[in-house]
Each structure stands twice: as C-alpha cells, then as structure tokens.
Amino acid sequence: MIRCHLERTNQDVYLVPETCVVTGITDEQKGKNFRAIKDEMFANAQKKAEQAQLFFQAIKRDKTKYKQFVDKFKIEVMETPMIAPGYPCKPASVIGDGKNKDFNLKDLTRDFSHEFTSPLYSPALSSWGIFYSNYGKRELDQFIKEVQNTVKNDFKLECKKPKTIQIEGKDFDARNWIDAIKQAHDEAKLDFIIILAPGKKGNSPIYD
C-alpha cells in the first residue's frame, strides 16, 4: 500500500498501487515555464522507452540494493524493453444524433463529441419532482425554465413539466423535507427529484 499523508486534515490515506496513475507535475517543474516542461510531459513512445531504460539501469547499478529489490519483490528487471507486434485497428463510425448521423473517425480531426448535438437515445423525463422552500418560488421558476430549455433545445429530449412540492412548516427542519419526499414518491412514483435547499451556498443545514 502507498501511504499518503494529507497535511490539511492531518490524516493518512492508503492507496492500492495497482489502481494509481501518476498525474500532474512535480514541485520542481512548477517553477519552470510550461514550454520548458512540455517535452517531458508529452514525450513520445521512443523517448519514454529510453527514459525507462535509464531508470532500470540506475536500479541495477547498485548491486546490493538491486539484490534486496529482487529478493523482496521476487522479480527481475530487464533493461531493454520487450518488443511485441502490434496491429492498428481500422477507424470505425460513431452513430449519433438519434441515429440520423454517423461520423467516421478517420475523417475527423478533433474530438468527435463536438460533432454531436443530441444523444443517440435517452428516456423522456416524465415523472420527476422539485422540492422548494417557502421563500424559494422565484428560484424555482427560474430553475425550471433553465432545465426545460437545456433538455429540450440542447439535448432534444422530451421533458414534461415537473411536479413541484412546497415544503410545509419550517424550512430548516430536515424532517419536513424527508416527510414531503416520501409522501410525493408514494403518490407519484417519481423517477428522480431535485431539492432547492434553502440557505447560502456551502452553508445549508438541509444539504448536510
């Protein structure tokens, strides 16, 4: 396991090495101009192979430590990488926009997601609800307008008007929200819900 100490929370986090991938840049690289480290970050395959070979040579240079390494992990290190044959796959076609368009990856010069304006298929938004507080009517109307505009115009999906439920009683009593959600779900079997929690962003007891 890899132990990672978080200075901000003073906690130790243990990571499984096989699931970890190194990302970002080192503290030493942060002091350099981006152009100066661009070649290091985006090195081609040949350069990366050469860097790996130098790394393994450095490991084997100290024979005592290398023997400890072999005894501990039960592996041998090859300085020269193994060469294996590879076979390029033919570019495929990506179907999108409700099956009305297809894009051949061979002809595209950028991320094909930019070529789509709507998904291939998605279920209609038919049974959904929005819960809001006593003083959240203005936010509710604006939110519904934005959601329906995005879903209908940008994603070309069918979107029925949501069921709106105003919370009765005190806005900051979590029990009132829980009871209202349970009752609405029992009556309408909502597919999903949205809660417009009262309070300032990052400081809403209902969100917690």
Q: What is the pLDDT of residues 129-181, one digit of tens each?
A: 999 988 888 889 888 888 878 877 777 677 788 899 999 888 888 899 999 99
Distance CA 65, CA 69 (A): 6
Q: Encoding tokens for residue 149?
A: 């505009």
Whether 124 shows a pLDDT value over 90: the answer reads no
Question: Beta-carbon neighbour count of residue 62 at 10 Å?
Answer: 11
Question: Beta-carbon neighbour count of residue 196 at 10 Å?
Answer: 16
Residue 113 pLDDT: 65
Q: Alpha helices, DSSP H only, in 120-207?
A: 137-149, 174-188
Distance CA 175, CA 33 (A): 54
Distance CA 160, CA 156 (A): 13
Contacts of 37 (CB under 8 A, 6+ apart): 25, 29
E strands, 27-178, are 93-96, 101-104, 128-132, 163-166
Question: Beta-carbon neighbour count of residue 162 at 10 Å?
Answer: 21
Q: Encoding tokens for residue 124?
A: 């209609």
Rounded to an integer, the average pLDDT of 175-198 is 89
Distance CA 25, CA 72 (A): 30
**Residue 104 banded pLDDT, cuts 50, 70, 90:** confident
Q: For helices 45-61 and 63-73, give the axis angle rounded to 10 degrees.
A: 100
State the DSSP code for 200: B
Residue 92 pLDDT: 82
Whether 114 shows a pLDDT value over 70: the answer reads no
β pairing state of 128-132 and 192-196: parallel
